[in-house]
Chains A and B, each alone.
Chain A
C-alpha cells in the first residue's frame, strides 16, 4: 500500500475566496498523479493527470502543480463558488501498479455564499 496523504481533511471557505490543498506521495517510482473532484451521489470527475516534474495544469478557475522530486502536488481554486463544494481526491500511479490508482482520503471543500 502506497502512502498518499492529503491536507487539510476539510475546508470551509466563503464564496470568492481562493484556496489550495496539498497531496503528498512517494517520490520513488513515480508514473502519474491524478486529481479528481467527487460530488455526493455522482461519479468522481477527472480534473488533471500530471506526469512531468514541474507540470502546471489549468482548467477554468482550478489549477494544479506537481513536484515529483519532493513528492507533492498542490491544487488551487481561484474565486471559489458554491458549486465547487465537493471532495477533491488525489491519486498516485506508480510504475508497477498496472495503471491502478492509490488514493488519498481527500479534502472536503464547502463553499458558502
Chain B
C-alpha cells in the first residue's frame, strides 16, 4: 500500500482567497485523484490528475476554479480558487495503480468564512 500525506491538514480561509493543497506519495503511482466531501454529502470526484498533461475534470468542476498540477509521479496539488463558503469541505487525494485498491490521504479540512 502507498503512504500518502497532505498539507495542510486543515485551514480556515476568507472568502475570495485561494488555497493550494499538496499531496505527496511515498512511491511512484500511475493515477492520482482529487475528491471532496461537502458536509452531509458523498465523497465526490473532482478530477483525475494526469502526469505531464492537463487534469481530467468531472462534470460540474472546472479548471479555473480547481487548477491541478502533477509535475511527477509522486506529487500533485489542488488549488481551490476564489473561495466561497460552499467550498467548505474535506478535500482528499487518492492514488491507484490500475484495477484494485485505491489509497487515500488523510484529507484537508477547509472552512471558508
Contacts and interface: CB of A to CB of B under 8 A. Distances in A.
B104 A44 contact: yes
Interface residues of B, number: 28
Given A43-B107, A49-B100, A99-B31, A1 B48 contact: no
- In this complex, the interface size class of chain A, counting residues with CB under 8 Å from chain B, is 20 to 34
Contacts of A4: 42
B6 to A, nearest CB: 9
A99 to B, nearest CB: 5
B67 interface: no
Nearest to A98: B48
Contacts of A46: 1, 101-103
Contacts of B1: 46
A41 B6 CA distance: 12
A4 B106 CA distance: 23
Given A98-B48, A105-B42, A44 B100 contact: no
A112 B36 CA distance: 30
B96 A105 contact: no
The 6 closest A-B pairs by CB, nearest first: A103-B43, A44-B104, A103-B42, A46-B101, A43-B106, A43-B104
Interface of B: 1, 4, 31, 33, 35, 40-45, 48, 56, 58-59, 92, 94, 96, 98-107
Interface of A: 1, 4, 31-32, 34, 36, 41-44, 46, 49, 89, 91, 98-106
